[in-house]
Amino acid sequence: MDSRVSELFGGCCRPAGCGAGGALRGRGGAAPGGGGSGSKAKKKNGRSRGGKANNPPYLPPEAEDGNIEYKLKLVNPSQYRFEHLVTQMKWRLQEGRGEAVYQIGVEDNGLLVGLSEEEMRASLKTLRRMAEKVGADITVLREREVDYDSDVPRKITEVLVRKVPDNQQFLDLRVAVLGNVDSGKSTLLGVLTQGELDNGRGRARLNLFRHLHEIQSGRTSSISFEILGFNSKGEVVNYSDSRTAEEICESSSKMITFIDLAGHHKYLKTTIFGLTSYCPDFAMLVVSANTGIAGTTREHLGLAMALKVPFFIVISKVDLCSKATVERTVKQLERILKQPGCNKLPLLVNSDDDAVTAAQQFAQSPNITPIFTLSSVSGENLDLLKVFLNILPPLTNSKEQEELMQQLTEFQVDEIYTVPEVGTVVGGTLSSGICREGENLVVGPTDDGKFLWLKVCSIQRNRSACRVLRAGQAATLALGPFDRSLLRKGMVMVSPEMNPTICSVFEAEIVLLFHATTFRKGFQVTVHVGNVRQTAIVEKIHGKDKLRTGEKAVVRFRFIKHPEYLKIGAKLLFREGVTKGIGHVTDLQAITTKENGLEESLGPGQLSF
């Protein structure tokens, strides 16, 4: 669905800063309800209030792929028709990885016809029967009256169909939480996941901290994970009913995993590692209403844009300041988002209707940026954020997911632990393939460029035991008695047949975002590529002697410690003090005997065990 839906369902969710006249119109005439939420365009001599011919409004034509289905009516279908409808629902659910949206009262070409009260009731009854047949539940997201060339009120209803969880196959979305120090990131997550409002002194965030100094200072310095579940009916599942993490996973059809990152500039490398390594689907930028855009806010916004992570904005602490202060912060954000560097379209969310529209448009258009204003103390507008997260669809469809699963196994090592009576445990994300309990993999590269055999003894996902891990999912793998000292962050565990590329020297096409003077050969920077984080030295700048801020070039880097596993095309981010740059890997060079003292040369396709 495109931006025209916002006018159809209420007309409130218009670009922030637009007046009533800024609402977008449906194709073929004025969409009903353009005057505001719940309003109905009154006809006068066959014309709408705006003086234009009251032609029927449209949605974009129905797509064959995707999880959105248009249905004019579903009144008393025959048994054969019913079975066909059930098969169709299975396809839509598969496309949406367990979620589908049905527009009832809309023709396949997108014409908004609407149904009478009785027809809509019968259609929803049939839809509920269909959902029961495929093991799903339905939730009415919103309904809207359509009024053209008819004296009988006619409605369109938008319905969310979501599968009941089975065998841990819930939809999992990862959301990285960004923002300046003291903007209220951890407190907001504590309120969302614990189900209790904050007391104004940070009580809600205490369960999120991992270290004593974090509790004492109130500042996050490490990466922590929190989960928020939604069941098949769209209801919140969290720790409020004394549930354990296992119970939340079992009861949820959809899981939001929040990656709580550090806001202080001192911990910037940890924040960058969280964004590059944990592959978040979305980012949530938290801005304090009373301080506005301060500290690392711009930097975090730039990181999300450089790594092409879609982001939405939450303005917190609205209970602390006046309405005028909140509006000033909103306008400040709008101004930055509309600048040529960002080129975003801000959407201010003020109602449930806005939240539904924002969620659907946000996933489909990279330029849309929803803005929420809320309080973790009073709970103001907190439900709007929950509605948004509940409806937010995944970025990848089932076909892309299947293609990833067909590839060979590749697991990125992000965390390493030693657990009593279990042994060595690694945490990370499965970037491709399928990983099963008891599978034999190889891990590396070690400091001398080798890969070592190991066995996956058990798998845990969201603190619950799991037998099979699929591409895109994050988990912890128990490796039994494997020596922890042989492992480090940045390694990969891959299928032995993969023949991974090992390199110490690589080339990347980069853009220098900022540098105080000139960027030359011999300069040392910290390079982030996925879960790899290591200091590298600039060996050569192709075609130039030096680079200045804003210039582009192909640069050859050499890791100064040990070889790493990289892929051509991987996103790259480098920094050193205030120096920052982005780019992508364009070429990898093989490790030679001379470079690392190995007995034999290791080309891009060779393994050493």
Q: What is the pLDDT of residues 192-207, one digit of tens each?
A: 888 888 777 666 666 6
pLDDT at residue 310, as a whole number: 94
pLDDT at residue 217, as a whole number: 57
Nearest C-alpha neighbor of 92 from the set 157, 3, 159: 159
The answer to whether residues 485 and 547 belong to one domain is: no
Q: Per-residue pLDDT averaged across 256-262, rounded?
A: 89
pLDDT at residue 600, as a whole number: 35
Percent of the chain past pLDDT 90, that is, above it, reads 49
- Please give the distance of CA 511 from its chain centroid, rounded to a whole number: 25
pLDDT at residue 242, as a whole number: 58
Cα four-point dihedral sign 332, 337, 340, 342:
positive
Name the pairing type of β-strands 311-316 and 282-288: parallel
Domain membership flag for residue 133: yes
Q: Is pLDDT of 598 > 60?
A: no
The answer to whether residues 528 and 432 belong to one domain is: no
pLDDT at residue 105, as a whole number: 93
Q: Which domain holds residue 539?
A: 502-590
Look up the CATH number of the domain holding residue 104. Answer: 3.30.110
Cα four-point dihedral sign 263, 267, 268, 274:
negative
Q: Is pLDDT of 5 > 50?
A: no
Residue 124 confidence class, pLDDT cut points 50, 70, 90: very high
The answer to whether residues 156 and 253 belong to one domain is: no
Residue 534 confidence class, pLDDT cut points 50, 70, 90: very high
pLDDT at residue 330, as a whole number: 95
Look up the CATH number of the domain holding residue 515. Answer: 2.40.30.10
Q: Is pLDDT of 427 > 70?
A: yes
pLDDT tens digits, one per residue of 375-425 = 989 989 999 999 999 999 888 777 788 888 899 999 999 999 899 989 999
Domain membership flag for residue 251: yes
The answer to whether residues 204 and 346 belong to one domain is: yes
The answer to whether residues 302 and 329 belong to one domain is: yes
DSSP for 222-272, please give it: S-EEEEEEE-TTS-EESGGGS--HHHHHHH-SEEEEEEE---SGGGHHHHH
Residue 176 confidence class, pLDDT cut points 50, 70, 90: very high
Q: Say how far apart CA 560 and CA 107 lie, in whole Å.
A: 62
Q: Per-residue pLDDT averaged across 423-451, rounded?
A: 92
The answer to whether residues 391 and 414 belong to one domain is: no
Nearest C-alpha neighbor of 253 from the set 117, 403, 355, 131: 131
Paired strand residues for 435? 469
Asked which of 494, 524, 539 is the last residue of a domain, the reply is: 494
Q: Is pLDDT of 253 > 50?
A: yes
Compute the residue count for the chain.
Answer: 609
CA-angle at 585, arms to 580 and 589, nearest 5°: 120
Compute, in degrees rounded to 10, the torsion defined by CA atoms 144, 146, 147, 153: -70
Domain membership flag for residue 40: no
The answer to whether residues 405 and 279 belong to one domain is: no
- Please give the distance of CA 195 from its chain centroid, rounded to a whole number: 22
pLDDT tens digits, one per residue of 10-60 = 434 434 444 333 333 333 333 333 333 333 333 333 333 333 334 557 788
The tally of domains found in the chain comes to 4
The answer to whether residues 177 and 294 belong to one domain is: yes
Angle formed by the axes of helices 352-364 and 382-391, nearest 10°? 40
Asked which of 351, 378, 395 is the last residue of a domain, the reply is: 395
Q: Per-residue pLDDT averaged across 224-236, rounded?
A: 87
Domain membership flag for residue 25: no
The answer to whether residues 218 and 328 belong to one domain is: yes
Look up the CATH number of the domain holding residue 235. Answer: 3.40.50.300
Residue 279 confidence class, pLDDT cut points 50, 70, 90: confident
Domain membership flag for residue 598: no
pLDDT at residue 7, as a whole number: 34
The answer to whether residues 473 and 370 belong to one domain is: no
Amino acid at residue number 503: C
Domain membership flag for residue 28: no
CA-angle at 527, arms to 571 and 504, nearest 5°: 95
Asked which of 395, 420, 455 is the last residue of a domain, the reply is: 395
Q: Looking at per-residue confidence, does 212 or 382 come out higher?
A: 382
Are 312 and 370 in contact by the 8 Å Cβ rule? The answer is: yes
pTM for this entry: 0.80
**Among the listed ranges 237-251, 301-315, 571-585, 588-602, which one has the minimum average pLDDT value?**
588-602
Nearest C-alpha neighbor of 316 from the set 214, 198, 460, 176: 198
pLDDT at residue 148, as a whole number: 64
Q: Per-residue pLDDT averaged across 424-431, rounded?
A: 94
Domain membership flag for residue 34: no
Q: Say how far apart CA 193 and CA 257 lie, in whole Å.
A: 10
pLDDT tens digits, one per residue of 347-368 = 999 999 999 999 988 888 878 9
The answer to whether residues 250 and 335 belong to one domain is: yes
Domain membership flag for residue 220: yes
Q: Per-residue pLDDT averaged across 448-468, rounded?
A: 89
The answer to whether residues 239 and 375 belong to one domain is: yes
Cα four-point dihedral sign 134, 137, 139, 145:
positive
Average pLDDT over the chain, rounded to an integer: 82
pLDDT at residue 607, as a whole number: 42
